[in-house]
Each structure stands twice: as structure tokens, then as C-alpha cells.
Amino acid sequence: MNALAWTDLDSKAVDTARVLAADAVEKVGNGHPGTAISLAPLAYLLYQKVMASDPADPRWLGRDRFVMSAGHSSMTQYAQLFLGGYGLELSDLQALRTWGSLTPGHPEFGLTKGVECTTGPLGAGVANAVGFAMSARRSQELYDPEATPGTSVFDHFVYCIAGDGCMQEGVSGEASSLAATQNLGNLILFYDDNRISIEGDTSIAFSEDVSARYDAYGWHTQHVDFTNGGTGYEEKLAELHTAIEAAQAVTDRPSFIKVTTVIGWPLPTLAGHHSVHGAKLGAAEISALKAELGFADQPFAIDEEVVGYARANAAARAASVRGEWDARFEAWRAANPERAALLDRVVARQAPEGLDAALPAFEPGSLATRAASGKVLGALAEVAPELWGGSADLAGSNNTTMSGVASFIPAARSSHDFTGAPGGRTLHFGIREHAMGNILNAIAMDGLSRAYGGTFLVFSDYMRTTPRLAALSHAPSIFVWTHDSIGVGEDGPTHQPVEHVMSLRLMPNLDVVRPGDANETAHAWARILRTDNRPSALILSRQNVTTFDRSETGGFAPAEGTARGGYVLKEASAAPQVVLVGTGSEVEIAVAAAEALEAEGVPARVVSLPCVEWFAAESDDYREEVLPADVPKVVIEAGVTVGWKDLLGGNTEAVGIDHFGASAAGTVLYDKFGITAEAAVAKAKALLG
């Protein structure tokens, strides 16, 4: 164990972080000062004494990752980014929670240098931290597989600060359970045990022994009590530092450090009061705090010597750590030119060469798009070694397992069906959809691989915040959601999505992709892997659908049009009088309707619309060419009909379902609920008058 080096300037820097939190929240008039004040010692210890980081290069590959799961206490992190010289200046802290600032109410990935992920929804950051820890292991196995674990340039720690709210949210439990199963020895989680939430003392709703829960998960647990059991407050930084080093030494399981604090300590009169959790402190309390800490009674009056000391210390530590790491990294690059080239491509978020050539071409016939997706993943395994993923216990149904690859689990966790081995690429999330989504987001934001995760579309409700956070973060996460309609059949309305697809389209910056056949599924995967700045939701059918004949004599357009979001699948016999638009499994219904209309002498075009968002990004000319504004349209999708007139124009009618389904065969439900070619023909005739 190394003794903690600590000076009076370090103590002054901690107190500087406290008063900055108080002043910043006071200036804007709202926010969360309490935790930022009482956790300033822990945050400073991590940033200045523990973590490997480089303020001049916040995305340095060898850095440790830090997640502020209690994202409402964003000033806990912002103060350290300021003191450490990551790019935030005093003016940025003065602009906390205001328009155009680099210091929003909750940390946002891509906006503020040094922020690894967007946090805010409580508990999500814990699951993100698990994802970062999994990403670290996968990166070492992908790029440096011969290295002894713990010695690779890709090895690093992940640190996360969580609060009582995070511990109460179910997603933290989901992710923490999985972290133990994965033996993530590179993950260290701090629980700020201050027993306060917005409604006051947590005793009214939260009485469990959290450390015992983490013991039961299989984590290594420790406790550092700043309150000394209620007998007197003492910020035990040396003890906390020793606990961190002990956690670093435990490599076969994640570590949990419970830090018992008093929220807002050392506020003279409000320490421990729930009001400091989510409201400004008031001028009198701040003045008293500054008097106690020896600061001038003026807003943001800090000692530049202290800031200079902290920044110089952070820079010196970075130079020391990077000097050693850079030499090892260059040696790795020289010894592994092919892996280095792969790393460079993945970090640049470039798709693999040979992607299109690797895509399978499906012969005409009948195949569920979920089954086609599974075959595509198998075909991509070699050309895209950075790709890995799995399912929330539905691998056989989601078809999310690449053929011929091992599982990403410790070998001791292997089962009769799945073998864990270093380099494994099949992820097993268990029945933990919410955690899965946050883990995928962290892997995407880490940027060293591409991961996907699957479940039934109806269960996307369990993980709804995760595509939203990915979209907000411009993270290219991949969500595979199968069993996408009443075509699920006998499982009944609890498992049959109705409102889901259209509601997902309402989410900004999310690509909702519902391919119409096997070949569209292949090209959808290719377009998704070329998308580097937004998440994708791949929506797939349970039931078999027609695989269209796209040969020169087959009558259907090449599936490459999938990448444009919408294209003419089958042209009318003459200038179209009506356009039949289909998505997903209903494209074949659109084709049947067009054939019926053509038989009656009505020229009818068929457009496949696998992704509204991709299509909307095309030029006005292209969209007008595919869907002429003056030609009536009938759109067929086995979901709610609301929204189609807004998307395609007022001369549009929709065939869909605006109520819940039922338990019966999918073919029966399509007929009973009128999602048929006959219904589409009737809508077309009504539009034509």
C-alpha cells in the first residue's frame, strides 16, 4: 500500500470545490449543491491521486473511466474538471445550467471534455460503469489477447459514484448482479451513503443493508464511515485511499465501497438537511460556509494558487503515467500492425472493408427477418471482429448469437449450451433489459468496439430510457428488437407490440429500421454499421415473410435501396395512380394489394419504407421521385395508424391496428383485424374516388 501524499493545498483545493458548488448553484438559482459539497474530498482524491488520466487529452486510450451516476450532482464532477485543467474555466462554472454552457444540469457525453457518458436517470450510470468495465475486458481480448490480464495497455479501472437514489433504482441491481457474474475486477463503485433523497430521510422508503446486498451479489465490499457511527465527522481520506488500493488489488470480482457521509457537510446549519439535496443554499449559509473554510465572502472568489497547484499536479501525474504507457503502446503497435490498424479503424468509427461483399444474398422464398438477421451476423463475424452482442435471455428467439464464437463469460460460468473463453463475443445479459441498454450505450461511447443487444420489441418498454440516452449522446448503440407485431400470435396482447414502432419514431436522433425481407435485413445491418453518430433500433419479425426475387427477371428492385430508407420495390405498369407503402412484414401485403389493383387496371407502385429517418435524410428530389406528393398513398403497418398523414402527406390512408391484439395464430389476427391486401385495396379505391 502506498501512503497518501496530502498537503494543505490539497485540503484547500477540496474546499475550493465545495464553495464553487455552492456559488454555482446559487448563481443560477437551482441545482444540487449538497452532495457536491460533501463528496468533494472523494472526487478530488480520485481525480488528483488515484485515476490515470490526461487533462490535455481527455480521450486518451489508457485512461481510467469515471462515471457520475448521481448525475444531478454534476458539480461534483465539473469542479474537478475545472481544478484538473480539462478545459472548463471559472466562467463555465458560473454558467452552470444555463443556455449554451458546457456545464448542463446533468453531465452530457460529447459536450463537456472529461465526461465519459450522459447520466441523469438514476442508476443508469451504474449500468454504464458495468458496460465500460466489460468494454475494457473485450478491448484487451480483441487487440492484445496474448497479454497477461492486468498488464495490457488496454487494461484500466472504471470508477463510479452512486447515491441512494441509484441504489433504489432497479437498473443498478440488474447491472451489479451481472457485473459479479462477469467477475469484473476492474470496476470500483462508491456508494455515497448519506441517507437523503428529495423527500427527506430515506428511512421512509429504503431500509435495506446495501452492503449486504452487494455481498450477496458476490462483490468485494468495504465501508469507510466519515460519521464514525454518528459520534463525530471525520473525512478519512487516508482510510479511503487504502480502501481504493485494496479494491484495485481484487481482480476476480468488482468492488463496492460504501462511504457514509452527511450531505452538505461542513455547512454550518444545513448539513444533513434534505433541502440541500436539490435547492440553492441561500446567501447567509454560503457566507457562513466561506467564513468557516477561510474564503472571502464574494461569489467565486477562489485562490489562483490553489487552482494552479491542482492543475500542475494533474499535468505532472499525466506526464508520468503517459510516459510509461506511451512507450508500451508504441511497442504494442509495432508488434501488432494488423491489430493496430483494426484499432485505428474502430476508433475512427469506420465500417470494415469488405462489408458489402460479406453480406449474404438470400434466394426467393420465405424467411423471418429475425432469422435472416442471425444469418447476417454469422456472415459478419469475420469481417467485423469488433462486433459482439447478445440478448436478454432470448438468444434463440432474437437470433442474436453469431455462429462459431464463444461467450463473453468467465470460463467457470460456462454451461452445457454456452462456453466462455477469452475472446468470446456472445453476450448474455440475463433477463435485464434495462441494464443491457445502458451497457450497450457505454460500450458505444467507449468507442473501442460495436455491440448489439436483443429482446422482444414489447419489452423495449423495460429499457425505454436507454435508446433515448443513446440518441441524446449521439452514441451508435444497436438495439435488436424482434417479435414486432401481432404476428407474435398465440402469446397474446401482452407480447404483441402495437404502439411501439410509431412511438419510437417520435424519439429524436433514433433510426427505427424495420426491414421487409431477408435481403433488406442484410443491407439494414450494413447501413447500421456505417452509422457512427446515432443509435439504431432494428425491428424484426417473428413470422416468416416473403423473400422477394430481386434478380433481373424477378420484378423487384435490388435491396441496396434499403440504405436510403425508402425505395420503389416494384414499379407500376404505367404512371402510378396510387402508391402502396409497406414496412417490415407488411411489405408483402402491399405487394399483394398492388397486384390486385393492377389486375383491375389501376397502376399501383409498391414502396418499401424500412426506415423513415433514413428516407427523411434523402434529398427532396429523391423523396418526391419515390413518393410523389400528388399521388395518393396507402401505408400498411401492423401498428397504430396515427402519424402517417404527417409523415407521408394528407392524401394518405393507413391500414393498421389501433387497439391491443389477442391470443391466436398470427395469420388469424391479421385477417380478423383487417390488416390485409383487401383492406389496402379498399383504402386505395376510396382515395381514388
The alpha-helical segments, DSSP class H, found in 169-209 are 170-181
Residues 624 and 172: their CA atoms lie apart, in Å, by: 47
Cβ count near 225 (within 10 Å): 17
Of 586, 625, 626, give the one whose Cα is nearest residue 607.
626
Q: Three-class SS of residue 327?
A: helix
The catalytically annotated residue of 26, 433, 520, 613 is 433
Assess whether the previous peptide bond of 266 is cis (omega < 30° from 0).
yes
DSSP string covering 475-501: ---EEEEE--SGGG-TT-GGG--SSHH
Q: Specify whether 433 is catalytic.
A: yes
Cβ count near 126 (within 10 Å): 31
User: Is 43 exposed, middle or buried, given 0-12, 13-18 or 19+ CB atoms closer than 10 A?
Assistant: buried
Q: What angle is formed at CA 140 by the lines to CA 109 and CA 148, rounded to 5 degrees?
A: 140
Q: Three-class SS of residue 686?
A: helix
Handedness of CA 615, 621, 622, 628 (dihedral sign): positive
Of 607, 585, 582, 580, give the one whose Cα is nearest residue 681.
580
Residues 145 and 141: their CA atoms lie apart, in Å, by: 4
Handedness of CA 234, 237, 241, 244 (dihedral sign): positive
Handedness of CA 175, 177, 180, 182 (dihedral sign): negative
- Cell digits of residue 174: 440488474
DSSP string covering 95-157: TTTSTT-S--SS--TTTSTT--S---STTHHHHHHHHHHHHHHHHHHHH-TTSPTTSSTT---
SS3 content of the chain, % helix, strand, coil (to 5): 45, 15, 40
Pairing of strands 536-539, 187-193: unpaired
**Active site amino acids:** 433
